[in-house]
Homo-oligomer: A and B are copies of this chain.
Amino acid sequence: MNGAESLVQTLVNNDLDVCFTNPGTSEMHFVASIGTNDKMRSILTLFEGVATGAADGYGRMLGKPACTLLHLGPGLSNGLANLHNARRAGSPIVNFIGDHATYHHRFDAPLTSDIHSLANPVSSWVKSSKDAKSLPADGVEAITASLMNSGQTATLVVPANCAWDESVEPLPGAEKPVPPAFVKEDIVTAAKRLSRGKQSLLMMSGNALSLEGLELADKIAQKTGAHLISSTFASRIRRGEGSVKVDRLGYFAEQAEQQLAGMEEMVVVGTKAPVAFFAYPGKSSEFTPEGCNVTTLVEPGHDIVGALQALVDELDANRFTPRRQTLQRPELMTGALTSDVVGCGVVKFMPDNAIIVDESATSGFGTYTLADNAPGNDWIFLTGGSIGFGLPNALGAAVACPDRKVICLHGDGGAMYTIQALWTMARENVDVLSIIFSNRKYMILQIELARVGAQTMNKKTLDMMDLTNPELDFVKMSEGMGVAATRATTAEEFNQQIEVAMQHKGPGLIEVVI
């Protein structure tokens, strides 16, 4: 049994059984070992950013890692942007990066590069295997690392000869790490702070935004009067019917500062005190109002739900019943096609327990707001600001949850970064409906251009944020990759198309021209 065969069986023994890949020559033994192992599913992508983004979506939904299999430094490079998002999301991912045989490295062949230097910025754990016999144990170590702190990225570099040389027997399933415990004194402190009758809030992220976390937070809110606010870009939040409403912190400083105005006590839950996404000339980077105390209930990645339960206990708030959202389907709109029209159509027809992957930038607010009263759903955000996460994440979420509808809301500019995801959606026949908002510009940048005070709005400047000349045709591109697509230019067209699309099971795309 060679190293690759023993590694792949070890992965399967450890409940890692999906591999998103774009392999090359140095991964051929790994590929062959997947090919002969019935338990490992392999999903081919045409670009590595699709593989890593899919692994992120998979990890966010299941809380366990898929693996990627990538081709040396350049293959990893193409996957880095979505690994950056995954790191910010706290997603469990194991990357296997094929490398030259150990003895081949000194020749500096064309594909040689410093893989560790590339991997470190996005990985919590990086290692290179030294021989075939170490490979199964390295694999277990990687999986264990990926599950620490509630989820993180582990990257194992696998030299080709470690894959093809004779190895040892596969290893059995190892014990899974549990999240680090909360600190009891932090619970007591937070309870005191929240009991003072001051204007207070819980600033929440991570598992605080799970159904269980939100229910506990709402008991705390009912007991103390604290507001519930989520991070702007959380990994995932449970929303809609049956869940608890939480306000989302605004992206722009003026929104966030308004939401936080007058607050005297901020308890942060699985996140930190909020800061601006970008700096702007003459504006503060921090959103916390002056004089507001900030108390940490529990660190990101630690036992957040446990900490919330402890706080409920400490506050004696177990008797409160969570105030759950009810279902309110909106009426369809007519006339011009806008973000609100899309929101009404999506929420009108979306099935129960959908997953919504949101890289809609400036175009998705209409849907976001209405989804508070949609059927129960999980909403996935762009955590790291690295564009092109949406389509791959939707693919991965659909692989993770094959019985749930995945709706991907995507800006046109962002969709072009990893448009190759459509092909894998078709190939795997996943139930993903992609809605592309074609406003034909990087709208967010035109807004930001003004906000940063770079006031040159001449044509040459605006052209650098313009997606006309030529206009992108997402219907043709989608069909070119095997995903059926339609284009909507009016509310009526969209309403008709979204109704059909929501009833269809399998990949589809609607280009919304707004």
Number of interface residues of A (CB under 8 A): 101
B385 touches A276 (CB 8 A): no
Does chain B have a CB within 8 A of A281? yes
A78 touches B417 (CB 8 A): yes
Contacts of A286 in B (CB 8 A): 107
The answer to whether A42 and B278 touch (CB under 8 A), given A448-B25, A452-B25, is no
Min CB distance A260 to B, Å, is 16
Contacts of A72 in B (CB 8 A): 385
Identity of the chain B residue whose Cβ is nearest the Cβ of A4 in the assembled complex: B454
Contacts of A114 in B (CB 8 A): 120-121
B121 touches A454 (CB 8 A): no
Which of B42, B44, B78, B120 sits near A81, CB closer than 8 Å? B78
B interface footprint on A71-115 (CB within 8 Å = 1, 0 otherwise): 011110110110010001000000000001101100111110110
Does chain B have a CB within 8 A of A471? yes
Copies of this chain per assembly: 2
Contacts of A420 in B (CB 8 A): 416-417, 419
* Chain A 359-399 interface residues, beta-carbon cutoff 8 Å to B: 383-388
Question: In the complex the two chains form, what is the Cα distance from A467 to B416 in whole Å?
Answer: 20
* Chain A 431-473 interface residues, beta-carbon cutoff 8 Å to B: 444-445, 448-449, 452-456, 458, 460-467, 469-473
Contacts of A113 in B (CB 8 A): 84, 121-122
Question: In the complex the two chains form, what is the Cα distance from A86 to B401 in whole Å?
Answer: 41
B109 touches A277 (CB 8 A): yes
Contacts of A277 in B (CB 8 A): 25, 109-111
Does chain B have a CB within 8 A of A345? no
Does chain B have a CB within 8 A of A31? yes
**Which A residues are closer than 8 A to B by beta carbons?**
21, 23-26, 28-29, 31-36, 42, 44, 46-47, 49, 72-75, 77-78, 80-81, 84, 88, 100-101, 103-104, 107-111, 113-114, 117-118, 120-122, 160-161, 164, 233, 275-279, 281, 285-286, 383-388, 413, 416-417, 419-420, 423, 426-427, 444-445, 448-449, 452-456, 458, 460-467, 469-477, 479-482
13 contacts between A and B (CB under 8 A): A21-B464, A24-B448, A28-B449, A32-B455, A46-B417, A77-B81, A77-B386, A78-B417, A104-B278, A107-B286, A109-B276, A113-B121, A477-B481
